[in-house]
Amino acid sequence: MKNPVLTLNQVEFSYKPSAKPNLFVNHLEIHAGETLALVGRNGSGKSTLLLTLAGLLDPQKGQRTALIPRSKIALVFQTPCLDKKLTVGENLSLFGKVWGMSRAEIDRAISKLEHALQLGELIPKTVQTLSGGQQRRADLARALLCDPEILFLDEPTAGLDLVAQREFWNTLAETGKTGVIRTLICASHHAAELKLFNRLVFMNNGQIALDAQQNSITSLLPPETLEVNTPEKADTFARDLSKTSQAPFSVPSRDKVLIHSENASATLEKIKTDAALNALVESALVRKTQLSDALWHELIRLSDISGEGAYNT
Amino acid sequence: MSSGILQVASALWLRDMIRFKKEKSRWLGLVSQPLMFWFLIGFGLNKVVSIPESGTNYLQFFYCGSLVMCVLFTTLFGAISLIEDAQSGFLRAILVSPAPRIGITAGKIAGLVTLVAVQIALLLVFVPVAGLAFADISWFLLLAGVILGSAVLSAVNLGAALLINSVQGYHAVMGLILFPLWIISGAMFPIPETGLWSWIAALNPMTHIAVLFRAGLIPSPHGAESWLHLTILGIQFLAALWFATAMTHSRKARHV
């Protein structure tokens, strides 16, 4: 295997120097071409890890090694970083110059991104007149302008509606096809977004709790899932279920229980025979186990929580 | 692809100019505030206050003081934009670039110096109203005072803006420090040349700016001393530039 492009060794970072570290990473390697997602609850340390990897936070202990020059690292943050009083074109020109690009290089880069990001109509417009989704698109262009070898994304679709979220990821996928991005590292808690990443790193209490390939995460659970809808009684259903069944299950909301097994239809028949459980069921759906199920299950297992809504499934 | 200091500084300077051109409401405050101060205080006190051994009346004396106030207020309020840049994430996006930090600071300083220069140029229209003559102006001293003086105050204010990182806090702290320093800089009244006053005056950049403006606008036999004030301002600028550049390395600047 080639040398990693980014390595963290025995890294500790704390926002308040005398306090308990907000991040402790024993060892982490990122290789060229990887698409890696940092997963975890709010405050689990995924953004801190992302900013440390990007070199924006300097660890108090340990070592960060980067084989990629700073000029080839780009970041997209939770909110667009453009100057809202300037047009998209003026912003791109400004950031290009700050990155050391010549006028000709900036023009070439913009025309390369114009098609992939559908920038044409946005370029003469002032940023503050654009919709949230358009601002993210322009901000993505800002990040991609320098033709980065690594792109860091810190919850890039936070605050966007579902359509704008889909538009953002489609745009990013489009740029991926054109070979603009080589390595992608993203902090996110939207399960739907995580399908795009081949490696998932689960964060908990500032530490890496699990680091695995996406396909191996999905295979942690049985292949079929029974999705039981129990309006506002999911906790009661789960408690009763745990007394009668060994099948792994999770409670993603107050209305829903997910039971994973080799044969979900058989599990449903078994529930129907239990009068107490059956009375709580409004409807049930048999389906294949999805990545989002595995993510939700792992998150609960790793952080030992029973709360709801930490993941959008 | 490597960004030079000049390229980064010119890009950020251009950005400030574009913003200024677009924000027309800022044009109004460009000359109206210092003019208002000068008219109200200058004309109000002209008949009751005399400046001994200066050969000028109070209106002329305070005209120079009003120009110093321009430098102070434009750099003081202009630096607030850096706090907004830090809080909006714009500065963070600039700071992750390979751009040399001194280029970033220099660009912001150049933007503020340009605004001060435009403001002073507009206010010079009132030279005859103050009873002064264009023919007597030493353009070199005036220009050197504008450029060096506004560069020092810009760098101090930009560094402080990043250190304090809150618009309200910055207003409170800098208003508390800089406004009294303007009053005792010799802008409003002559300051004693001995004791504690003279030490404070020597350290206060606005004292040197006031002296240079006065030397530039009012003919005086003490022109040679201007080089001393220019040198002190030059040293203060280097220290302030270091301070402002060092502050761009702080986590507050990156807003993380």
What is the per-residue pLDDT across A10-56, written as a single tens digit (0 to 9) for each?
999 998 877 788 999 999 999 988 999 998 888 889 999 999 999 88
Q: Choose the mutation target among A49, A95, A97 for the interface with B, i.e. most B CBs under 10 Å.
A: A97
Q: Between chains, do A95 and B96 touch, taking CB under 8 Å as contact?
A: no
- Backbone torsions φ then ψ of B45, nearest 5 degrees: -100, -5
Q: Between chains, do A100 and B3 touch, taking CB under 8 Å as contact?
A: yes
Q: Is the pLDDT of residue A292 over 90?
A: no
| Inter-residue contact B185 to B117 (CB < 8 Å) | no
Percent of chain A with pLDDT over 90: 37
Q: Between chains, do A86 and B93 touch, taking CB under 8 Å as contact?
A: no
- Cα–Cα distance, A293 to A251 (Å, whole number): 10
Q: Between chains, do A70 and B98 touch, taking CB under 8 Å as contact?
A: yes
Q: Residues B64, B65, B66, B72: is their CA dihedral positive or negative?
A: positive
What letter represents residue B84's amino acid? E
Nearest-CA distance from B58 to chain A in Å?
A: 42
List the single residue in B with minimal CA-CA distance to A154.
B256
Query: Would you give the DSSP letter of residue B43?
Result: I
Q: Write down the pLDDT at residue A181.
A: 59
Q: Write down the pLDDT at residue A199.
A: 93
- Cα–Cα distance, A110 to A77 (Å, whole number): 20
A142/B contact by beta carbon, under 8 A: yes
What letter represents residue B146's amino acid? V
Q: Write down the pLDDT at residue B221.
A: 65
* Contacting residues of A for B98, CB less than 8 Å apart: 69-71, 99-100
Cα Rg of chain B (Å, integer): 19
Choose the closest CB to A57 out of B18, B90, B256: B256
- Cα–Cα distance, B74 to B178 (Å, whole number): 12
> Considering only CA atoms, which of B41, B118, B42, B36 is closest in space to residue B74?
B118
Q: Is the pLDDT of residue A278 over 50?
A: yes
Choose the closest CB to B96 out of A54, A90, A94: A54
Q: Write down the pLDDT at residue A310.
A: 39
Residue B220 falls in which region: left (phi positive, over 0), alpha (psi -120 to 50) or beta? beta
> Considering only CA atoms, which of A24, A50, A41, A37 is closest in space to residue A299?
A41
Q: Write down the pLDDT at residue B52.
A: 74
Work out the pLDDT band at A177, boundaries 50, 70, 90. low
Q: Are strands A183-187 and A150-154 parallel, antiparallel or unpaired?
A: parallel
Choose the closest CB to B15 out of A57, A83, A105: A83
* Contacting residues of A for B7, CB less than 8 Å apart: 97, 100
B97/A contact by beta carbon, under 8 A: yes
* Contacting residues of B for A93, CB less than 8 Å apart: 11
ipTM: 0.87
The A residues from 191 to 230 touching B (CB cutoff 8 Å) are: none
pLDDT in tens, A193-225: 787 888 999 998 899 988 999 888 888 888 899
A100/B contact by beta carbon, under 8 A: yes
Please return the burial class of A128, using the count of CB atoms within 10 Å of its CB with bins 0-12, 13-18 and 19+. Answer: exposed
Q: Locate tokens 């040349």: which residue?
A: B193
- Cα–Cα distance, B40 to B127 (Å, whole number): 16
Q: Write down the pLDDT at residue A308.
A: 40
- Cα–Cα distance, A32 to A172 (Å, whole number): 18
pLDDT in tens, A161-173: 777 788 788 777 7
- Cα–Cα distance, A187 to A51 (Å, whole number): 10
Residue-by-residue pLDDT tens, chain B, 256 positions: 556 899 999 999 999 999 999 988 878 777 788 888 888 888 888 888 877 766 788 888 899 999 999 999 999 999 999 999 988 889 989 988 889 999 999 999 999 999 999 999 999 999 999 888 999 899 999 999 999 999 999 999 999 999 998 999 998 998 889 888 998 888 888 888 778 888 888 899 999 999 999 999 987 766 668 889 999 999 999 999 999 999 988 877 776 6
- As beta bridge partners, residue A261 has A224
Give A176's contacts (C-beta < 8 A, 6+ positions apart).
Answer: A184
A247/B contact by beta carbon, under 8 A: no
Query: A–B: how many Cβ contacts below 8 A?
Result: 85
Q: Between chains, do B1 and A105 touch, taking CB under 8 Å as contact?
A: yes
B90/A contact by beta carbon, under 8 A: yes
- Cα–Cα distance, A84 to A208 (Å, whole number): 37
Q: Is the pLDDT of residue A313 over 70?
A: no
> From the centroid of its chain, how far is CA B102?
19
B96/A contact by beta carbon, under 8 A: yes
Q: Write down the pLDDT at residue A306.
A: 45
Q: Is the pLDDT of residue A307 over 70?
A: no
B21/A contact by beta carbon, under 8 A: no
Q: Dihedral of the CA atoms B51, B53, B57, B61 (nearest 10)?
A: -70
Q: Between chains, do A57 and B251 touch, taking CB under 8 Å as contact?
A: yes
| Inter-residue contact B128 to B210 (CB < 8 Å) | no
- Cα–Cα distance, A77 to A133 (Å, whole number): 14
pLDDT in tens, A68-102: 888 889 999 988 999 999 999 999 999 999 999 99
Provide the H-helix boundaries in A58-156.
Answer: 88-98, 103-116, 132-144
